[in-house]
Amino acid sequence: MEGGIVDPACAVGTLLDFAALHPADFPARGTFFIKQTREGGSDAIFGTADLAGFKLQSLVSWGLEVGVQPVGEGTLDSMTAEAAQEALALAQVQLAPLLPGYNALSIALPDDQPPQNAELLRGGTSAGQTYAYQGAVLPDAGLAGSPFMPNFDSYKIPRLPAGEIGGVSWRTAVGASEIFVSAGE
């Protein structure tokens, strides 16, 4: 781990190894959020533009999810509805050449700010391109509660970054007793 970021290859290897040891109880599950540039550059995806499609297809073949991040400048809440829809649609459009036929189900909001009209996260159209997301995650927002809890909002799912928060392990920051909260389901 460097600078609080987990190497995706290590994370995937750990997930797959653990799932192989416990296939009935712990299948490999995880979401890897990718972000591309407005110009469609994929060099930021695992640091290798020429292998980006292969790597993303491998994740999907292993049962892992690929999510996206909005494409554009500024925060979604500061954009017009049209600009927010463009940023949300472009994320899906740019994924298509790398993962043909794959529709990202979730989007990460790197700034914790949904568009002014939060319904735009659910779906929309921009320049003839449609998009639809079933959930949105917010970074540094704490631990996610159970999806069976009455107040669960799939468009405001908190997540903790892999690694450290301000130089402190996230497990230390949240306290060992708060690792999982069950809704009793």
Across 16-20, 68-72, 117-121, least confident range: 68-72
Contact of 122 with 135, CB cutoff 8 Å: no
Mean pLDDT of 96-120: 89
Residue located via tokens 């110009």 = 39
| Widest pairwise Cα distance in the chain | 49
With a CB cutoff of 8 Å and minimum separation 6, the contacts of 65 are 29, 30, 31, 32, 59, 105, 106
Confidence of residue 185 (pLDDT cuts 50, 70, 90): very low
Cα angle 126, 127, 130; round to 5: 45
Helix (H, G, I), strand (E, B) or coil at 9: helix
Mean pLDDT of 150-171: 70
pTM for the full predicted model:
0.76
Mean pLDDT of 92-117: 89
> pLDDT higher for 138 or 5?
138
Confidence of residue 88 (pLDDT cuts 50, 70, 90): very high
Is the pLDDT at 44 greater than 70? The verdict is no
Confidence of residue 144 (pLDDT cuts 50, 70, 90): confident
